[in-house]
Amino acid sequence: SQTIHQWPATLVQPVGSPLSLECTVEGTSNPNLYWYRQAAGRGLQLLFYSVGIGQISSEVPQNLSASRPQDRQFILSSKKLLLSDSGFYLCAWSSPSKTQYFGPGTRLLVL
């Protein structure tokens, strides 16, 4: 069966510090991968999606970037965090045109 992992589960970072959140998927190959953010009191927003290694599409301009160095690894990064980057970050995977399955999420607090 397929599983999706995210780490860390919780992260507290100062403004201006770098960020790296990792997501890995097991039990499937060539998945579509997604990063979402849920800011406090707001709905989920798609940040990035990837249909293959090195292929990243960005949905909204922002302080963040994403990379996919391996087929089942998706990384969300920032060089300098802003207060507005605080939120709950969810990674998801899907086979093309199928339902998306979500990881447990990372709660990021930028102080």
Residue ranges binding another protein (CB under 8 A): 32, 34, 36, 42-46, 49, 57, 59, 88, 90, 92, 96-97, 99-105, 107
Contacting residues for 9 by C-beta, under 8 A, at least 6 apart:
104, 105, 106, 107
- Other Cβ atoms within 10 Å of 1 Cβ, number: 5
Shortest distance (Å) from residue 40 CB to another protein: 12
Q: Minimum distance from CB of 79 to another protein (Å)?
A: 26
Rounded least distance, CB 16 to another protein, Å: 26
Q: Which is nearer to another protein, 79 or 100 (CB)?
A: 100
Q: 34, 89 in Cβ contact below 8 A?
A: no
Round to whole Å and give the CA distance between 5 and 92. 9
The Cα 100–Cα 94 span in angstroms is: 5
34 vs 74, beta carbon nearer another protein:
34
Residue 22 beta carbon to another protein: minimum distance, rounded to whole angstroms = 15
β-strands 10-13, 106-110 pairing: parallel
Residue 26 or 59 having the CB closest to another protein: 59
